[in-house]
Amino acid sequence: MEYPVSANARYTGLIQHYGDRLPIEDPASAVCLGEGRTPLIRTYNLPRRLGFEGEIYLKFEGVNPTGSFKDRGMTVAVTKAFDEGARAVVCASTGNTAASAAAYAARAGMQAFVIIPEGKIALGKLSQAMMHGAKVIQLRGNFDEAMAIVRVLVRDLPITLVNSINPNRLQGQKTAAFEVVEDLGRAPDYHAIPVGNAGNITAYWMGYKEYGYEGWCAPPVMVGFQSTGSAPIVEGRHIDQPDTVATAIRIGHPASWEGALDVQKESRGWFDAVTDEDILQAQRLLASTDGVFCEPASAASVAGIVSEIQAGHIPQGSNVVCTLTGHGLKDPDTAIRQSEQPFTVDATEAAVEEVIQGFL
C-alpha cells in the first residue's frame, strides 16, 4: 500500500516554492533548509486589552530554520554565491545574519566569516554561529563599524558579502509579503516591522508591490519602528553610539536608508521610535497573554502598534500585521532578567504545594 505523500512532505524551501519569482536559474539545486511558510497568528488578547476592534496578526518569523527571517534572504544569497563558484561568505552582523549565514554556508560546504560587535550579540545567536562552524570575529566596536570594514574587505578578497546590501537577500525576504497576502486573501491595512538596516521593510514592500501589480492585493501602509536609543531614520541623522536592549537593531547607520524613505513615501507610511521599556513590556505581553515568544527587537513592531492604536493613528476596524522577526529563544538572558524567578524549594510535596497554594 502506498502512503499518501502530503504537499508538506514535498516542500523543501522557498526557492522551490517561489522559484519563478526569484533570481535562481535552477531551483532544484537550491541551498535550503525548509525556510518560509511561517504562520500568521491571529491575536485575541492583545486587541481586547487595547479595546481595539480590529484584527492584529503576527507573522512569526521566529520559526524559520535558524529562528529568524534572515533565512529567507540567506537561502537565495548563498545559493547564488555557490552557483557563482564562491567558496566563502562574509557578513557583519548584530547576530541573526551571522547565525543564518553560518548555517546555510555549512550546508553548501562553504566557509562563513562573521564579524560581530563584542559583547553585544544575544547568546543564542552566538552559539549558532559557533556550532555551524563560522569563523567568528568579535570587534571591539559596533555593528556600523563592522559593516564599514566588510564593505571594503570584499573588494579585495574572493568572498561573497551576504549582508542585505546583497540584492539577493531582499529578493528572498520579499516572499514573506507573498505569504501574508496568501494567508489573509488580501494585504493588511497596516504592516508594522522593526527596523535596523531597513532591508526587511524594503523587501516586504517589494513583495507587496509585486503582488499589487499583478492584481493580487492593494499594498498596505508600511510602519517601521526603531528603538529610541537607536533611531537614525526617525531622527533623520546618523547615530554614532546607538544603544538599545534590542541588540538586533542596535544600528546607527542603516544600509538601506534610501529604500526606507521610498517605502515611507510610496506606501504613505511612517517611522517612529519606541523605548526599551515599551519593547520589553510588549515582549512580555505577547509571551504571557498570547503565547508567542519573540526576541526583543521583534517586539518593537508590537510596542509600536500598541502606541499607534492608543494615539488613534490606526483607526478602529483596521487589519494589522506585525512581523515578529526572531524567536525569543535567541536571547535567553534578556528573557530571564525580566521574568519572575523560579521558586526553589525542598523536595517534598508540602513545600511544592505551599508555593502553588499561594497562587490559587
Q: Please report, as ranges, the residues that interact with ligand AN7 according to CB under 6 A.
A: 68, 93-97, 164, 194-200, 248-249, 295, 297-298, 325-326
Q: Could you tell me the CA-to-CA distances from 301 to 32, 202, 244, 249, 295 in Å, in that order?
A: 28, 15, 15, 12, 11
CB-wise, 96 or 318, nearer to ligand AN7? 96
* Closest distance to ligand AN7 from the beta carbon of 249 (Å): 5
CB-wise, 97 or 168, nearer to ligand AN7? 97
Tell me the chain's radius of gyration from C-alpha atoms.
21
Give DSSP secondary structure letters for 275-310.
-HHHHHHHHHHIIIII---B-HHHHHHHHHHHHHHH
* Closest distance to ligand AN7 from the beta carbon of 289 (Å): 21
Give DSSP secondary structure letters for 178-209.
HHHHHHHSS--SEEEEE-SSSHHHHHHHHHHH
* Closest distance to ligand AN7 from the beta carbon of 51 (Å): 28
Strand partners, 230: 227
CB-wise, 187 or 246, nearer to ligand AN7? 246
CB-wise, 164 or 307, nearer to ligand AN7? 164
* Closest distance to ligand AN7 from the beta carbon of 323 (Å): 8
Give DSSP secondary structure letters for 304-322.
HHHHHHHTT-S-TT-EEEE
* Rounded CA separation 179/187 (Å): 10
* Closest distance to ligand AN7 from the beta carbon of 200 (Å): 3
SS3 content of the chain, % helix, strand, coil (to 5): 50, 15, 35
Give DSSP secondary structure letters for 116-169.
EETT-S-HHHHHHHHHTT-EEEEESS-HHHHHHHHHHHHHHSS-EE-STTSHHH
Nearest to 161 by CA among 256, 74, 34, 249: 74
* Closest distance to ligand AN7 from the beta carbon of 85 (Å): 25
* 87 touches 158 (CB < 8 A): yes
CB-wise, 80 or 120, nearer to ligand AN7? 120
CB-wise, 27 or 172, nearer to ligand AN7? 172
* Closest distance to ligand AN7 from the beta carbon of 351 (Å): 40
* Closest distance to ligand AN7 from the beta carbon of 173 (Å): 8
What is the dihedral angle through the alpha carbons of 93, 99, 102, 107, rounded to the nearest 10 degrees?
Answer: -150
CB-wise, 203 or 320, nearer to ligand AN7? 203
CB-wise, 115 or 285, nearer to ligand AN7? 115
